Amino acid sequence: MMQAAAINPHDGEAQFQLGLIHQQRRQRSEALARFRKAVEIDPGHTDAHLQLGKIAREEGRLRDALSEFQTVVTQDEKIHSSEVLKELGAVYLTARQYPDAKNELDVYTERRPYDPEGLYYYGQTMEALGDKTAARELYQRAVEADRTAPRYRRRYTAKWSRLAGKRL
């Protein structure tokens, strides 16, 4: 990918792939620059918008994250099994816009009922809205989703199971 980007710096996909490499290496500023370059080259690069939104959310730049995620929803809401809906729900949850978070996470968990992260966010949302029974059920589902996940997925799902277990 580095060679492709060096040969043709106007290749949006090569810039995006380099961004993923930098993101894996926890080189956030370089990843951000590559994702921005990918979007500059190809404004329709949905994956790059998704990654820009994730980084903005992690950095607490909720408006930027919301803008990027709205772009993704407009381009392809179902990309990566509707992951953008989980991300939108997390942004709304952080911003304390609980009804909006509930709307996004309801659709997401309906489409992906075994994602511990989405179930955990949804549980937090329901807890904030005062529905302790629904929150408890969602936390239990998050723990169960981790237990039934394939072994190779557990390193990604265990965090959410632990957090849900603490909330229970």
Each of the 168 residues of the chain gets a pLDDT tens digit; together they read 566 655 667 888 989 998 999 999 999 999 999 999 999 999 999 999 999 999 999 999 999 999 999 999 999 988 888 999 999 999 999 999 999 999 999 999 999 999 999 999 999 999 999 999 999 999 999 999 999 999 999 999 999 999 999 999
The residues of the chain that CATH labels 1.25.40.10 are 1-76
Q: Per the structure block, which two tokens stand in for 122?
A: 């949804």
Fold assignment, 1-76: 1.25.40
Q: Per the structure block, which two tokens stand in for 3?
A: 């060679």
Q: Per the structure block, which two tokens stand in for 81?
A: 């099994």
The pLDDT score that the predictor gives to residue 3 is 64
Alpha-carbon span 58 to 63, nearest angstrom:
12
* CATH 1.10.10 corresponds to the domain 96-168: no
The pLDDT score that the predictor gives to residue 82 is 92
Alpha-carbon span 117 to 123, nearest angstrom:
10
